[in-house]
Chains A and B, each alone.
Chain A
Amino acid sequence: GENVEQHPSTLSVQEGDSAVIKCTYSDSASNYFPWYKQELGKGPQLIIDIRSNVGEKKDQRIAVTLNKTAKHFSLHITETQPEDSAVYFCAASREGNNDMRFGAGTRLTVKP
């Protein structure tokens, strides 16, 4: 089955800097890659997703890139703000398959 690896496990950046979180997946049939933000005491919230028919997607300060050949995808947050501090999870699933596999999470801390 699918295995998703996520790095780093913790990331600390200065406000205004960029943050990059990377994930790899094992199942070449996976074609949907969401990113979730989880704040303390809350459930994961979808922040951006990408499907395998595109290589990059951007939404304001957040972007995701996908390299299907290498089977990795990354989350990029620019101009980080303290409210970006949270745990971020990547995930992967296959079209028609609800079994979404999550990475282990990255705890991002943005220092003011």
Chain B
Amino acid sequence: EPEVTQTPSHQVTQMGQEVILRCVPISNHLYFYWYRQILGQKVEFLVSFYNNEISEKSEIFDDQFSVERPDGSNFTLKIRSTKLEDSAMYFCASSVGQEGEQYFGPGTRLTVT
């Protein structure tokens, strides 16, 4: 069964550094998403992406964040200058259509020290 994959599984970085989290969505899906989950808290929507542009973003997704689909398979989340409070699990998801089921990847645990 096709699945969403994410790399790395765990990323440790120093405050102020840039990080790039990578995702490979399911191949025939057209909508891509990033969510984050701070330890013990809710899963929070960050951004959705369709047709090579952001379709929606939450208040969390500020100028420090950016997303890109550099090629036909990868979907990346970049955090320009990490802060301690960016430490969380980051989940990528994809769906066939805008109202379709979203399939989540296993997540990347980001630890900012």
Contact = CB atoms under 8 A, between A and B. Distances in A.
Instruction: Say which size band chain A's interface belongs to.
Output: 20 to 34
A43 B98 contact: no
B107 interface: yes
Interface in B41-87: 41-45, 48, 55-56, 58
Interface residues of A, dominant DSSP: loop
Contact of B91 (A44, A46, A95): A44
Instruction: Say which size band chain B's interface belongs to.
Output: 20 to 34
B102 A100 contact: yes
A57 to B, nearest CB: 13
Contact of B43 (A32, A46, A89, A97): A89
Interface of B: 4, 6, 31, 33, 41-45, 48, 55-56, 58, 91, 93, 98-99, 101-107
